[in-house]
Amino acid sequence: MVTNLETSQQIDDAGIDLETKTLLEMYWQMVRARRLDERTWVLHRQGKIAFHISGIGHEGVQVGAAMALRRGYDYAHLYYRDLAFALVLGYTPREWMLSVFGKEGEPTSGARQMPSHWSNKKQGIMPASSPVATQVPQAAGMALASKLRGEDRVTLVSLGEGSTSEGDFYEGLNWAGVHKLPMICLVENNIYAISVPMHLQMAVPNVADRAPMFGIEGVVVDGNDVLASYRAIKEALERARSGGGPTLVEAKTYRPVPHSSDDDDRTYRSRDEVEEWKKRDAIKRFETYLLDKGILSGDMIEEIEGRVRLEVDEAQAAAEAAPYPPAENALFPVYAPADEA
């Protein structure tokens, strides 16, 4: 059993000064992402969609991080598990459903890419691909652009811990360190790269331990604690905006579901381990915290769940009713015309 993480059942709200409204928005965003994700698994099991890669378990760190950004201003170069992250930045459940069904009007790629390849210029979401870690040195380029222009925009790039074995990760953070770029590299460490556990991925106990080799700050945070995650990213943002350079933030979390709809995680980890981790689930913990604080009530939970269910239902219905893209769309667009220069 892989137990290199010690996360508590508590929420660490030290120094957090957020309005009730914001705390409730965080909770709603987490619940919404979870229910949308769960529905997608159901659609796959019903044979209605071909593929799903899930973000379940990661909602704490993703919502915390996304809420800390200046949304629509900062650049976010995300990876495939970042459904909750993208939703906070403005991606909609309807767009998600168009994506998983591969329907016309899907906004990130016109249904050319598999789901979970985020891209939205207005929301500052950079275009994602499937090869892992390629986004890290690209993010250094984005942060370099901001630095050259003298903006205080920060680029946040995310990836899993397995992806940190790629050379792209090292080259990207090396650039970020050399040029003190306004960049945050957020590693969502869920201990498994598909089936390969962390100890076969690296010889250090924490991804963030590598930060000194780039001459940058390294931070470990409990990724199942939305407020601790928010605070870690907020501090990294302040460092980056004030010229203090990049931060490598490692969020310890867990993926209680298979890697994707094509994976069977029973082949590489015990049910006991998964159940143990479910007790530390980010949503449950935050819910308990908000109930204890009197910010949330049973009635409010019911209302939020109802609202989310309605939105997910509507999103699914809209996507099911939408047409598939015309086959000839496969032929374009290959080259940008000159006027986009």
Partner 1 sequence: MPEVTLIEALRQAMDEELERDDRVFITGEDVGQRGGVFRATVGLFEKYGAERVIDSPLAELSIVAVGIGAALAGMRPICEIQFADYIFPAFNQIVNEAALVYYRTNGEYNVPMVIRAPYGGGIGGGLYHSQSVEAFFAHAPGLKIVIPSNPYDAKGLLKAAVRDPNPVMVFEPKKGYRLIRGEVPDHEYTVPIGLSEVTRKGDDLTVYAYGMMHYYTLQAAEMVAQQDGIQCEVVDIRTLVPLDKETVLNSFKKTGKALIVYEDNRFLGYGAELAAILSDEAFEYMDGPIRRLAGPDVPGVPFAHTMQDFFMPSPEKIAHAIRELAAY
Q: Note if 324 is an active site residue.
A: no
> 124 with 66: CB under 8 angstroms?
no
Q: Note if 179 is an active site residue.
A: no
In the complex, the smallest distance separating the C-beta of residue 183 from partner 1, rounded to whole angstroms, is 10
Distance (Å, whole) CA 304 – CA 123: 25
Candidates 71, 170, 268, 269; catalytic one? 268
Distance (Å, whole) CA 276 – CA 224: 13
Give whichever of 174 and 288 is closer to partner 1, judged by the CB atom: 174
Give whichever of 56 and 143 is closer to partner 1, judged by the CB atom: 143
Q: What residues pair up with 125 in beta bridges, in sequence order?
A: 76, 120
Classify residue 109 by its DSSP letter: T
Q: Note if 39 is an active site residue.
A: no
Residues that bind partner 1 in the complex, under the rule CB under 8 A = 75, 77, 108-110, 112-113, 117, 119-121, 126-127, 129, 131, 134, 136-146, 148, 155, 167-168, 171-172, 174-175, 178, 332-338, 340-341
In the complex, the smallest distance separating the C-beta of residue 154 from partner 1, rounded to whole angstroms, is 12
In the complex, the smallest distance separating the C-beta of residue 76 from partner 1, rounded to whole angstroms, is 12
**Alpha carbon 10 to chain centroid distance?**
22
Give whichever of 298 and 337 is closer to partner 1, judged by the CB atom: 337
| Beta strand pairing call for 196-197 and 183-189 | unpaired
Give whichever of 40 and 123 is closer to partner 1, judged by the CB atom: 123
Candidates 94, 259, 280, 285; catalytic one? 259
Candidates 32, 255, 280, 285; catalytic one? 255
**Alpha carbon 334 to chain centroid distance?**
29
Joined together, the tokens standing for residue 179 give: 């040029």
In the complex, the smallest distance separating the C-beta of residue 164 from partner 1, rounded to whole angstroms, is 15
| Dihedral (CA of 24, 218, 209, 80) sign | positive
Question: Token pair 């939305």 is at which residue?
Answer: 226
List, by residue number, the catalytic residues. Answer: 255, 259, 268
